[in-house]
Structure 1
Amino acid sequence: MRIWIDTGSRIPPYEQLRAQLRLMVSSGRLKPGERLPPIRVLAQELNLAPGTVARAYREMEWAGIVEGRGRAGTFVVDEPPVAFSVLERQLAGAAEAFVAEADRLGVGLQAAMLALESAFAARSDPDPGRVGT
């Protein structure tokens, strides 16, 4: 499971984690019934506090995306209520291709994000925050 937390972002780490996990569920990378990593393990891998990961899991549980099963762990529900539009799936695919190319070039997250922000800044779009859904 590949998750990136941008510590310099204004978006809180728990929200970044929640959004990425939601995307993984919606895109099918995390399948119904699949177990999420234990909170402490994921927290250690991402260099986050366990409470941060627990909050992301809890919010996903409230949204009906995952269910906690006590000591057995946290699992994707059988029928998650998240479904992405065709546009969102295409965007996720483009993001994965971008990450794969950045990996191939040996570029880290910060350099890749800078390149992406520069590409958006160079556009003549008057509304860079638009959403096409």
Structure 2
Amino acid sequence: MMIRLTGSAPPTEQIRDQLRGLIASGRLAAGERLPSVRQLAKDLDVAPGTVAKAYKALEEEGFVTARTGGGTRVSQTATTTPRPVLEAARQLADTATHVSTDLEETIRILRAIWPDQQGESEMPETSIPKTR
């Protein structure tokens, strides 16, 4: 399992988001055991409480289950992301890397164009001219 702390987001959020991504992509399978809080904290050079908060958030979201003495494992009910979404995400990552667009900028771009509940983008179409 590869988790790296980069960017400006708090470490707890980065750990949670990366583990959520590993589970959603199927790289961490249902029932698979996660490193102990202490071990992951040591590996990432963060306080154990930081990892514990990330694990707790994932447990509340249904991605992992924790049992005393049994460790923290990927939930049996955690679902993976549909293959077409994973393939498109991989292609976006490859393209962004190829043109030297970093992860934070790629995420900002996705957020800017992501449709809201009514199927409209978050920003009105007329506010920024489209260029192609």
Question: Do they fold alike, i.e. is TM over 0.5?
Answer: yes
**Larger of the two Rg values belongs to structure:** 2
In the superposition, relative to structure 1, how do residues 96 and 32 fare at CA in structure 2: closer, same or farther (>3 Å)? farther
TM-score of the aligned structures, taking structure 2 as reference length? 0.68
How far apart are residue 69 of structure 1 and its match?
1.0
User: Of the candidates 29, 33, 41, which is equivalent to residue 27 of structure 2?
Assistant: 29
Counterparts of 1:3 and 1:132 in 2: how far apart (Å)?
A: 29
How far apart are residue 85 of structure 1 and its match?
4.7
1:78 corresponds in structure 2 to 76
TM-score of the aligned structures, taking structure 1 as reference length? 0.68
2:113 corresponds in structure 1 to 130
Aligned: 1:116 with 2:116 = no
Counterparts of 2:5 and 2:115 in 1: how far apart (Å)?
A: 25
Q: How many residues align?
A: 109
Structure with greater proportional helix content: 1
Counterparts of 2:86 and 2:68 in 1: how far apart (Å)?
A: 32
Per-residue CA deviations over 1:82-131 (Å, capped at 9, x if unaligned) read: 44355641254347768xxxxxxxxxxxxx8xx424xx69xxxxx83323
1:101 corresponds in structure 2 to none
Counterparts of 1:96 and 1:78 in 2: how far apart (Å)?
A: 28
Deviating beyond 2 angstroms after TM superposition, the runs of 4 or more aligned structure 1 residues are 82-88, 90-98, 127-133
Counterparts of 1:50 and 1:95 in 2: how far apart (Å)?
A: 34
Secondary structure at the counterpart of residue 116 of structure 1: coil
CA RMSD of aligned residues (A): 2.9
